[in-house]
Amino acid sequence: MEITVVEGDLTQQHVDAVVNAANRHLRGGGGVDGAIHRAGGPAVLEDCVRRFPHGLATGDAGWTTAGDLPARWVVHVVGPDHRAGETDRALLLSCYTRAVEVADEVGARTLAFPLVSAGVYGWPREDAAAAAVEALRSVAATTGVTEARLVAYDAAAAALLRDALGDAPGDAAGD
């Protein structure tokens, strides 16, 4: 799986699946979650309600339609809320690995990820970037996903992600 970094709008990525950093309820919200629900239109929320009436646990993932997004699916992950005391890094790593597992289930080969939990949930951004790369590299050889695109919303986040790719063991392509 190739791991790439791009700076841009997650909702405009032309990939098989866009990963949503969602809250436990999967009913839309702020940040990435709100942007995906707005851009995807009502079909995303309707599918969330139908498929996940009780939401998802922290660290878990599930898929819905992407509605009006250029992607085919949205893979929703529930990141840990660092500000609320959810500081178990394994939960953050699980968001990435579970997203790839769910992508495999639906046949998605290209994924676009935000930096999970690094916004309103307050996970330290440098560690969030390192965790994203670490988790994706850990599953690179065991998946049908060919590209995991880390989408940075600004230059600072893109630099953190590029640094994490360069500092992590293995090559920048992630094999």
Of residues 76 and 174, the one with the higher pLDDT is 76
Q: What is the mean pLDDT of residues 37-59?
A: 98
Q: Where are the domains of the chain?
A: 2-167
Rounded Cα gap, residues 147 and 111, in angstroms: 6
The mean pLDDT of 122-133, rounded to a whole number, is: 98
89-118 per-position pLDDT tens digit: 999 999 999 999 999 999 999 999 999 999
The catalytic residue among 33, 47, 60, 81 is: 33
Q: Which residues contact 159 (CB under 8 A, 6 or more apart)?
A: none
Q: What is the CATH number of domain 2-167?
A: 3.40.220.10
For 54-58, 78-82, 139-143, which range has the lowest pLDDT when averaged over its residues?
139-143
pLDDT confidence of 171, banded at 50, 70, 90? very low
d(CA 18, CA 32): 11
Told to judge if 81 belongs to the known catalytic residues of this protein, a careful annotator would answer no
**What confidence score (pLDDT) does residue 168 get?**
41
Outline where 11-170 has alpha helix (H). 31-40, 42-51, 89-106, 125-139, 155-167
User: Which are the contacts of 126, defined by CB distance < 8 A and separation ≥ 6?
Assistant: 160, 164
Angle between helices 89-106 and 125-139 (to 10 degrees): 40
